[in-house]
């Protein structure tokens, strides 16, 4: 199996307006002469919408991906926008998509740990709705070792699922410094048996800290989404980093991920997934092009074997295009 351990599916209101406004400002003021953020804002959400995950399934087919894990996020609580889609509705929707695309679509519950009722909702999503893990997004304003998170870790241990942390730098209005993977060492110390996924593996400049922190804890994993953002411009550097991570933590604790946003703006011929999967597979086929080589067994673990084992996914037989 090939499993993308980090994708996103959006419907209207799943990201708060404040988040879209910041994106519009970033795009508008990232060029000279500046553009008008208000002219950009109305076009952002429609480019993300894929409520039935049909675009995502098409992108998986084109890339030869058998299954993916949709990571729920809860930004609205931190941004004070309770008018956005409530997390219970989002998680219920993802549970329905797990049924609609059985064996191909899985989800992690994502709830802000400060949200009233968040722990009960996370437990329900995992125990009753079959979600495969729990996601925390520290850049919304908390550290991984904040005691408010401890009941969620204990729930993950009780339910036998991993927790995923966002460990990539995040732009305004989020606070990226909370994502530094070194903070997760305290969680490892307090909960030595907890299965921990370092989402984005410290992209772009914390990847070594992420790898070193994972290396010392036998049930921690690196998930390499967002690395695909730079593979076109820096393929040799991505190959070198991946080989270094393999040497530190072992190929058996690295997960393929993409952070793929399905939706009209990112899907079909705009999808990066075929290039990303092809790049990784070539590292075990052609060898020395970038000065590193992975065995076929190592790459099979990274591409899906590790996710299948960690998340207890059933085997999927699919006719590849």
Check residue 152 and give its pLDDT: 98
Query: Angle 199-105-113 (CA atoms, 0-180°, nearest 5)?
Result: 45
Its sign, for the CA torsion 235, 241, 247, 251, is negative
What the block records as the tokens of 73 is: 């996020």
CA atoms within 13 A on the CB side of 82: 2
Exposed/middle/buried for 268, CB within 10 Å: 0-12, 13-18, 19+?
exposed
CB 87 within 8 A of CB 93: no
Check residue 315 and give its pLDDT: 80
Q: Distance (Å, rounded) from C-alpha 32 to C-alpha 36?
A: 11
Q: What is the pTM of this model?
A: 0.96
DSSP E strands in 72-203: the ranges are: 105-110, 134-136, 163-166, 196-199
Per-block mean pLDDT, blocks of 10 residues, the chain (321 long): 98 94 94 96 96 98 98 93 86 98 98 97 98 98 98 98 97 94 98 98 97 97 98 95 97 98 94 96 80 93 98 75 45
Q: Distance (Å, rounded) from C-alpha 119 to C-alpha 166?
A: 19
Which of 167, 215, 159, 217 has the alpha carbon at shortest distance from 187?
A: 217
Residues 6+ apart with CB under 8 A from 99: none
Question: Could you tell me the strand order of the sheet in which 67-71 lies?
Answer: 254-255, 220-223, 196-199, 163-166, 134-136, 105-110, 67-71, 3-8, 260-261
What the block records as the tokens of 67 is: 């299954």
Could you write out the three-class secondary structure of 123-148? HHHHHCCCCCCEEECHHHCCCCCCHH
Which of 157, 142, 195 has the alpha carbon at shortest distance from 5?
A: 195
Superfamily of structural domain 3-14+49-311: Metal-dependent hydrolases (3.20.20.140)
The full set of domain ranges for the chain reads 3-14+49-311
Helix, strand or coil for residue 106?
Answer: strand
Dihedral pair phi/psi, residue 141, rounded to 5°: 130, 30
Check residue 318 and give its pLDDT: 58
Dihedral pair phi/psi, residue 250, rounded to 5°: 95, 145
Dihedral pair phi/psi, residue 155, rounded to 5°: -65, -40
Check residue 291 and give its pLDDT: 84
Check residue 39 and give its pLDDT: 96
Q: Distance (Å, rounded) from C-alpha 141 to C-alpha 83?
A: 20
Check residue 288 and give its pLDDT: 62
Angle between helix 207-215 and helix 235-249 axes, rounded to 10 deg: 20
Check residue 321 and give its pLDDT: 45
């Amino acid at each position: 199996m090939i499993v993308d351990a980090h994708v996103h599916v959006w419907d209207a209101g799943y990201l708060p307006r404040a988040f879209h406004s910041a994106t519009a400002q970033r795009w508008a003021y990232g060029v000279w002469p500046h553009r008008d953020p208000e002219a950009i804002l109305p076009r952002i959400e429609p480019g993300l919408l894929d409520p039935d995950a049909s675009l995502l399934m098409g992108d998986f087919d084109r890339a030869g991906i058998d299954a993916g894990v949709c990571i729920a996020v809860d930004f609205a609580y931190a941004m004070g926008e309770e008018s956005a889609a409530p997390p219970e509705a989002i998680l219920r929707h993802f549970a329905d998509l797990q049924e609609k695309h059985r064996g191909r679509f899985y989800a992690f519950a994502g709830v802000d740990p400060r949200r009233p009722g968040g722990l009960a909702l996370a437990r329900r999503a995992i125990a009753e709705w079959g979600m495969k893990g729990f996601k925390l997004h520290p850049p919304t304003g908390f550290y991984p070792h904040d005691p408010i998170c401890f009941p969620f870790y204990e729930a993950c241990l009780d339910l036998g699922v991993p927790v995923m942390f966002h460990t990539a730098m995040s732009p305004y209005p989020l606070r990226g410094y909370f994502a530094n993977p070194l903070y997760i060492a305290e969680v490892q110390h307090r909960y030595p048996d907890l299965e921990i996924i370092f989402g984005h593996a410290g992209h772009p400049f914390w990847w070594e800290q992420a790898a070193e922190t994972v290396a010392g804890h036998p049930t921690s994993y690196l998930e390499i989404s967002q690395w695909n953002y730079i593979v076109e411009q820096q393929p040799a550097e991505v190959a070198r980093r991946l080989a270094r991570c393999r040497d530190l933590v072992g190929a058996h604790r690295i997960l393929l991920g993409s952070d793929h946003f399905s939706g009209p703006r990112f899907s079909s011929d705009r999808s990066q997934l075929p290039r990303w999967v092809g790049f990784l597979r070539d590292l075990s086929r052609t060898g020395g092009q970038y000065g590193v080589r992975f065995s076929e067994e190592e790459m099979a673990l990274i591409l899906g074997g590790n996710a299948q084992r960690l998340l207890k996914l059933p085997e999927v037989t699919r006719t590849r295009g």
